[in-house]
Structure 1
Amino acid sequence: MRVAMAQLNPTIGDIGGNVTKIRQVAVKACRAGADLVVFPELAVTGYPPRDLLCRRDFLQRVERALAEEIAPMSREVALVVGAPVRGAAQGDGENTDRDFLYNAALLYTEGKLAGRQDKSLLPNYDVFDESRYFKPAGQRTPVPLGELNLGLTICEDIWNDKDYWNRQLYEVDPVEELVARGADLVLNISASPYHYGKIGLRLDMLRSIARKHHRPVIYVNQIGGNDELIFDGTSLAVDAGGEVVCLAASFEEGLVLLEMGRERSGPLFLEPVGKIDFQVPGAGSALPREDISYVYRALVLGIRDYLRKTGFQKALVGLSGGIDSSVTAALAAAALGPENVLGVSMPSRYSSPGSRSDARILAENLGIAFREIPIEGMFSAFLKAMNRDGSPCGDLAEENIQARIRGNILMFISNREGYLTLTTGNKSEMAVGYCTLYGDMSGGLAVLADVPKVMVYQLARYINREREIIPESVLVKPPSAELRPNQVDQDSLPPYEVLDTILQAYIEEEKSAEEIAALGFDPALVREVIRRVDRAEYKRRQAAPGLRVTARAFGMGRRMPIAWRAG
């Protein structure tokens, strides 16, 4: 049997467009000799559809698509497709009045539904909220296809191996049950979002599962950017000994074709077959080694898909001559093409000549459009209007009004000319509130909101890997908001190498102040950083959506109250 692994980038809610894409891929796979095409989790709706699943008309459109379009496709080639399904649980046919919703893997062949396995494990942590919408599977039974019994699983179902994790989040292990009931292989359809380090972890886990159960594993993952989440794909097949047979590219759509079968009564084997869109043998150097290039590619994909799926074609970035805006502009140019990016410099009386020239040189190096709009006149008008004697006070309010003037300019251009404004604040700044509401936080997408400052510099060096795009002076000068004379970030913050380590321990690892201090940090500094993180929640709640690239991002992955007090 030839199996095609279809790594697709669906658009959430676009059932017609997603089904068309499924059809095109099925035709291509069939022409390449595939007997079975496997699509990702919820491929019909895109993942995560969130409260679209609460709309009856939306679910009715899914049902029509499955019955009238997906099922007929299977007359030419068998399909495994992910979709939400209403009705009774499997094996609960007598209670069809129970209108529950299930996250299902559906096997279609010969023009009809031939098998179904609902998702058993519904994650309700980090960015996931599946128990809000779905009921867990009532049973786990292999689905027959020809001479093989398919152990169908969906995403989280493979993430509960007690021997790999040394603990279980759920009482049920779907893989263990399916193998015990005669599954010849484990087939997982997934929508597993990316964060730095996830690809290697996932690969290691899948290899461990294959070795433990002596079964091949076929894993098909979604790619694309959907709001804050970015999906890397990296679909793969692992043989029963845990060796990678084939590996799809990361952050790209495509098909991988492999042969599956038995030699006499021996174990099931997998082997790669010729190339469709991409297919890489799994040996040696082909295995992924994550580095900063993966974060770069994730952010580029996240920007491109966010604009494409929300109907924008061009982006706007405020260029300060600093590292964050430089990296944001470079990512935008890579995602959208330089011709679709505008950089705007808005110098004030405190902007250094070097920063002004760095912004212009960056725009020239990227090939993006550039405008310089000085804000001195507007700033002076504010100072005169808000100070009784017309004399500046030099306080925080006057610093912030500069950022707010710039935010207004960017949003004016956005409204008039149809650009999406990209904000440039990084995770370190967002964490401690070193950002201005309705100022530098104004915009439609926060590109670096989950990228710590130290990683921003790593991205900059990667962007400059072949030639100097971001001026070297940007990389070596002390970071500064330039809102008062001789200002640098370290007037208000500890060195970023220190700050980022404390933030990772507190936000991503959920360590207490005492545990962080025990790592060798000044206890007073740790308490102050934590205090600032907690107090800045009201700002983050009003921020633009941020692209997720770490294991714990602000927003939907970290849902903290605003009005609370440690007791």
Structure 2
Amino acid sequence: MLREGFIDQIESTIEHIRTQLPEDISILFGAPERVKGNLYNSAYLIQQGRVRTYHKQCLPNYGVFDEKRYFEPGTDSFVFECQQTKIGVVICEDAWEAAPISTVVAHGAQTIISLNASPFQLGKHQQRIETMRQRVQENNVSLIYINAVGGQDELVFDGGSFVMDTSGTITHQLPFFQVLTHSLDQPFMQNINEPIEKTIYDALVLSTKDYIEKNGVFNGALIGLSGGIDSALTLAIAVDALGAEHVQAIMMPYEYTSSMSLEDAKAQASSMKVDYHEINIHSMVDSFNTQLSPLFAGVGADTTEENLQARIRGTLLMAVSNKSGKIVLTTGNKSEMAVGYATLYGDMSGGFAPLKDIAKTMVYRLANYRNSIDYVIPGRVIDREPSAELAPNQIDQDSLPPYEELDAILELFVEHKQSIQHIIQQGFNQDTVKRISRMVLNNEYKRRQSAPGPKVSQNAFGKERRYPMTSKFQP
């Protein structure tokens, strides 16, 4: 945004649109505008060969938004006439405040168009509807709410554009996570009360698809398929996003890998028709252990040997990625990332993390949802106790509380930012809460090195989480 060349390209493209657009067509779109050295988040109207602009007045500077870093706020309202209707223009946050719409109505607007790049998070669309309803009823105007569709890094824009009449009734509701053009002359009413699992799953698929395809660097996705639920769900997301022909799965067994994991990984890869390979890492682990044995003499085995297995697998995946041009999708979920139950340069190796903001309990719900469409994830993967299979007879609950309890604590501590004392007062074990909160804070450095992943919650481990890695804070 602060690069001169970028703004130059925008100005050149807008001029090209202006010269090519027939004079009997009016278009309205968003782009930055440079005026006397200042940047404005702007709406451009091209009408009858002329370009006019509106500058966004309310600049959000919270959560994932940093608009005050780049833009100056506008001060003037904007009204234009089209098909004998006076239309007022606002941009995104403007409509969440009362003044911009009431002012543009005072300038004669009969209908409002709100241009938005409003990122998805759970419950966001209902908030949009309630806020826009308040605005139209306050001002007795109809409103056209236009929202972007698509993924950009960790943000995913869910679309869901709608039209609301002066009473606050929705007359048109477009679908979510789909690019669609529709005329106001014909009604369109998409169901907005879909299951939460469908909404989240669609967000993950679109985000993964756009991250890979829009960057133009990778020709597909590569997944380390372990026979566990996280990699199984990630494989399903990748296939739904890219198509089976663009997805490759690699199983890398060691002596702790169960026959069930091998069978289920192979079964899912076969049912989803993806390219599947097995690479046994036993000789590689032995070689590393042999070379390290002089340095480790007199020290018993611990998580070092477990992490070594994960890092060998990560190295293999990155090698295949380099050779094939496919991006490695990491498979860790939010619960694991929160407490550091992942290996740097091991299972955290990769370029995109579809499940990064998905709690483990939701992973199970999403797996069941995906199987309700068609059965692709073996039932044993969902039913079995989760295990990293890095040690004999290992299960996740050897070192973590049950995921139902862990996720409940994490939701309060991470997403709602509640204190330890407040969480304990809600009935959780004091020692468990203190331990979990300590693990979250101690692993900030690890999350900072993790791959980006789509935001679906109100507080994700992404650009909005600005905690220092070095801190003496005790919650």
SS for the counterpart of 2:450 is coil
Offset at 1:563? 0.6
Distance 1:453 1:515 in 2: 23
TM-score calculated relative to the size of structure 2 = 0.96
- Of 67, 72, 84, which aligns to 2:32? 84
Equivalent residue number for residue 117 of structure 1: 54
Structure 1 residue aligned with 2:2, among 54, 58, 72? 54
Partner AA of 2:91 in structure 1: I
Mapped pair 1:152 → 2:89: yes
* Paired position in structure 2 for 1:102: 40
3-state DSSP of counterpart to 2:394:
coil
**2:162 maps to amino acid:** L
- The correspondence for 1:298, drawn from 184, 197, 203, is 203
For each residue in 1:211-258, what CA deviation from the matched residue of structure 2 results, as whole angstroms up to 9, or x when unmatched?
Answer: 232211101111011111111111110000111111111111111211
Task: Give the secondary structure class of the aligned counterpart of 1:75.
Answer: coil
Q: Work out the CA distance in 2 between the residues paired with 1:148 and 1:324.
A: 53
1:444 aligns with 2:351: yes
Comparing 75-84 with 429-438, greater Cα deviation is found at 75-84
Q: State whether structure 2 residue 465 is matched by structure 1 residue 548.
A: no
Q: Which runs of structure 2 are paired with 1:515-534 in the superposition (5 Å)?
A: 515-534=422-441
Is contact 1:423–1:440 with CA below 8 Å preserved after alignment? Answer: yes
C-alpha distance in structure 1 between counterparts of 2:305 and 2:233, whole Å: 27
Structure 2 residue matching 1:356: 3-state secondary structure: helix
Shift of 1:390: 7.8
Deviates more, 1:239-248 or 1:385-394: 385-394
Distance 1:392 1:361 in 2: 40
In the other structure, the counterpart of 2:270 is 364
Which digits, 9 at most, give the CA deviation of each residue in 1:32-79, with x for residues without a partner? Answer: xxxxxxxxxxxxxxxxxxxxx111111111112212323541513111
Aligned partner of 1:492 in structure 2 is 399
The answer on whether the counterparts of 1:422 and 1:443 sit within 8 Å (CA) in structure 2 is yes
Structure 1 counterpart of 2:281: 375
The answer as to whether partners of 1:191 and 1:222 remain within 8 angstroms in 2 is: yes
What is the CA distance between 1:197 and its match in structure 2? Answer: 2.0
Q: Is the 8 A contact 2:92 2:115 kept in 1?
A: yes
Deviation at 1:489? 0.6
Q: Could you tell me which residue of structure 2 aligns to residue 35 of structure 1? A: none
Task: State percent identity of aligned pairs.
Answer: 42
Contact 1:151 1:179 survives alignment (8 Å) = yes
Alignment-derived partner of residue 111 in structure 2: 185
8 Å Cα contact 1:200/1:288 also seen in 2: no
Does residue 426 (structure 1) correspond to residue 333 (structure 2)? The answer is yes
CA contact (8 A) 2:174 2:189 kept: no
Post-superposition offset of 1:417: 1.3
CA contact (8 A) 1:116 1:143 kept: no
1:403-422 Cα offsets, whole Å, 9 max, x none, are 00000000010011111100
1:249 maps to amino acid: P
User: Number of residues paired by the alignment?
Assistant: 472
Partner of 1:329: 235
**Amino acid in structure 2 at the alignment position of 1:348:** Y
8 A contact 2:227–2:265 mirrored in 1:
yes
For the structure 1 residues 499 and 160, does the alpha-carbon distance in structure 2 shift closer, same or farther, using more than 3 Å as the test?
Answer: farther
Kept in 2, the 8 Å contact 1:218–1:236? The answer is yes
Contact 1:383 1:391 in 2 (8 A): no
Instruction: For 1:201 and 1:518, locate their aligned partners in 2 and report how far apart those are by CA, in whole Å.
Output: 30
CA distance in 2, matches of 1:292, 1:391: 50
What code does the residue aligned with 1:240 have? Answer: T
Alpha-carbon distance between aligned partners in 1 of 2:262 and 2:301, rounded to the nearest angstrom: 22
- Residue 442 of structure 1 and its aligned partner are, at CA, apart by 0.2
* Deviation string, structure 1 residues 509-528 (Cα, Å, up to 9, x no partner): 11111121222111221121
In the TM superposition, 1:379-398 aligns within 5 A as: 379-388=285-294, 393-398=300-305
Counterpart residue number, 1:405: 312
Structure 2 spans left out of the alignment, 5+ residues:
none
d(CA) in 1 for partners of 2:16 and 2:462? 38
Is residue 96–residue 132 contact of structure 2 (8 Å, CA) maintained in 1? no
- Map 1:142-291; keep pairs closer than 5 Å: 142-145=79-82, 147-161=84-98, 173-258=99-184, 273-274=185-186, 280-281=188-189, 286-291=191-196
Query: Closer, same or farther in 2 for the Cα pair 1:391/1:475, shift >3 Å?
Result: farther
